[in-house]
Structure 1
Amino acid sequence: MNDLGTFIRQFSRGDRGIYEVKKKNKRFIAYSELYQSALELSASWRTLKLRERFIAVVWMEQSLDGLRSFLAVVLAGGIPVPMHSFSAVEDISGAVRRLEADMVVVSTAKFRMFHSSLSLMDVQRSPYWIDLDTGRLLAGSDGSDASHGSGHGGGKFAEREYTPPTETAVIFMSSGSTGWPKGIMLSDHNMISNVESIQDYVCLNRGDKVLAFKSLGYCSSITGEWLTALFAGCDLQLTDAFMHPFEMLRFVREYGTTFMCTVPSAILPLVKTERWGEKDVASLRKMTIVGGPMPSDSLLHLSSRMPSVELMPSYGLTEASPRVTYLPAQQLKVRPGSVGIPVKGVQVSVYRSGVVAEPGEHGEIVVTGPNVMLGYYNNDRLTSEQLKPEGLYTSDIGYIDQDGFIYITGRMDNALNVGGHTVYPETIERILLGLPFVREVAVTGVADDIWGERMVAFVVLSDGNGRISELAEFSKLHLQPVQRPRKWIIVDEQQLPRTIVGKINRLALRTMAKEWEDAATFTSPG
Structure 2
Amino acid sequence: MTDRGYGSWLTQHALRNGQRTALVDDVGGAVTTYSQLETRTNQLAAALDANGVQRGDRVAMLLLNSPQMMEIYFAVAKLGAIAVPVNFRLHASEVAYVLEDSGSSFLFHSTAFAELAADATADNRRIQRSVMVPTLAERATTSGGDSAGDYEEFLAGGSPERVEREISHDDICVLMYTSGTTGRPKGAMLTHGNFFYNAVNGMGFDSGLGRTDITISAAPLFHIGALGVHTLPFLFIGAQVVITEAFAPDAWLEAVSRHKVTKAFLVPAMWAAVAQSGALQTADLSTLRSGISGGAPCPITVITALREAGMEFTEGFGMTETAPIAACLQPEDVVAHAGSIGRPAQFNDFRIVDEEGVQVPTGEVGELCVRGPNVFIGYWNKPDETANALRNGWFHTGDLAHVDEEGFYTLVDRKKDMVITGGENVYPIEVEQVMYQHPEVREVAVIGVPDAKWGERVMAVVVLTEGASVDADGLRQWTRGRIAHFKAPSEVVLVDELPRTATGKLLKRNLRQELGGPDAAVSR
Paired position in structure 2 for 1:510: 512
Paired position in structure 2 for 1:9: 11
Paired position in structure 2 for 1:373: 376
Letter in 2 for 1:35: E
Paired position in structure 2 for 1:114: 117
Partner SS state of residue 499, structure 2: coil
Letter in 2 for 1:220: G
CA distance in 1, matches of 2:6, 2:399: 29
1:39 aligns with 2:42: yes
Out of 213, 227, 232, the position equivalent to 2:237 is 232
* Identical counterparts, % of pairs: 26
Shift of 1:369: 0.7
Paired position in structure 1 for 2:133: 132
CA distance in 2, matches of 1:332, 1:324: 17
Paired position in structure 1 for 2:101: 98
Return 252-261 or 201-210, whichever deviates more: 201-210
Shift of 1:74: 1.6
Shift of 1:375: 0.3
Paired position in structure 1 for 2:293: 289
Paired position in structure 1 for 2:261: 257
Paired position in structure 1 for 2:399: 396
Paired position in structure 2 for 1:364: 367
CA distance in 1, matches of 2:103, 2:374: 26
Equivalent residue runs for 1:37-186 within 5 Å: 37-116=40-119, 118-119=121-122, 121-122=123-124, 124-133=125-134, 167-186=171-190
CA distance in 2, matches of 1:205, 1:117: 41
CA distance in 2, matches of 1:39, 1:414: 46
* 8 Å CA contact retained: 2:354, 2:366: yes
Shift of 1:21: 4.1
Letter in 2 for 1:512: E
1:434 aligns with 2:437: yes
CA distance in 1, matches of 2:149, 2:6: 21
Which structure 2 segments of 5+ residues have no match? 135-147, 158-168, 520-524
* 8 Å CA contact retained: 1:129, 1:137: no
Partner SS state of residue 396, structure 2: strand
CA distance in 2, matches of 1:178, 1:500: 15
CA distance in 1, matches of 2:77, 2:411: 35
* 8 Å CA contact retained: 2:280, 2:309: no
* 8 Å CA contact retained: 1:314, 1:340: yes
CA offset digits 1:3-39 (Å, max 9, x no partner): 22223322343232344344x4211101221121111
* 8 Å CA contact retained: 1:299, 1:336: no
Partner SS state of residue 400, structure 2: strand
* 8 Å CA contact retained: 2:132, 2:151: yes
Which structure 1 segments of 5+ residues have no match? 139-146, 148-164, 518-526
Shift of 1:180: 1.2
Shift of 1:77: 2.4
Shift of 1:274: 7.3
Letter in 2 for 1:204: L
Change (3 A) 1:333 1:461: closer
How high is the TM-score relative to the length of structure 2? 0.86
Shift of 1:278: 8.1
CA distance in 1, matches of 2:115, 2:34: 31
Paired position in structure 1 for 2:141: none
Partner SS state of residue 280, structure 2: coil
* 8 Å CA contact retained: 1:445, 1:513: no
Return 400-409 or 231-240, whichever deviates more: 231-240
Partner SS state of residue 345, structure 1: coil
* 8 Å CA contact retained: 1:105, 1:132: yes
Shift of 1:488: 1.6
Equivalent residue runs for 1:189-268 within 5 Å: 189-202=193-206, 203-243=208-248, 245-268=249-272
CA distance in 2, matches of 1:93, 1:117: 4
Partner SS state of residue 30, structure 2: strand
How high is the TM-score relative to the length of structure 1? 0.86
Change (3 A) 1:275 1:471: farther
Letter in 2 for 1:56: V
CA offset digits 1:112-154 (Å, max 9, x no partner): 44325654x32x344322233569589xxxxxxxx9xxxxxxx
CA offset digits 1:199-237 (Å, max 9, x no partner): 133412232211111101112222222221122222111
Partner SS state of residue 288, structure 2: coil
* 8 Å CA contact retained: 1:84, 1:216: no
Task: Give the aligned CA root-mean-square deviation in angstroms.
Answer: 2.6
Shift of 1:344: 0.9
CA distance in 2, matches of 1:389, 1:414: 25
Return 2-11 or 381-390, whichever deviates more: 2-11
Change (3 A) 1:232 1:116: closer
Shift of 1:351: 1.1
CA distance in 2, matches of 1:386, 1:16: 41
CA distance in 1, matches of 2:268, 2:237: 25
CA distance in 1, matches of 2:500, 2:422: 28
* 8 Å CA contact retained: 1:41, 1:135: no
CA distance in 1, matches of 2:110, 2:347: 39
Partner SS state of residue 281, structure 1: coil
Shift of 1:340: 1.0
* 8 Å CA contact retained: 1:223, 1:321: yes
Change (3 A) 1:36 1:85: farther
* 8 Å CA contact retained: 1:362, 1:398: yes
Equivalent residue runs for 1:453-492 within 5 Å: 453-465=456-468, 467-492=471-496
Letter in 1 for 2:496: D
Change (3 A) 1:476 1:71: same
Letter in 1 for 2:228: T
Shift of 1:285: 0.7
CA distance in 1, matches of 2:46, 2:273: 47
Letter in 2 for 1:506: K
Shift of 1:422: 1.8
Change (3 A) 1:443 1:232: same
Letter in 2 for 1:207: T
Equivalent residue runs for 1:377-388 within 5 Å: 377-388=380-391
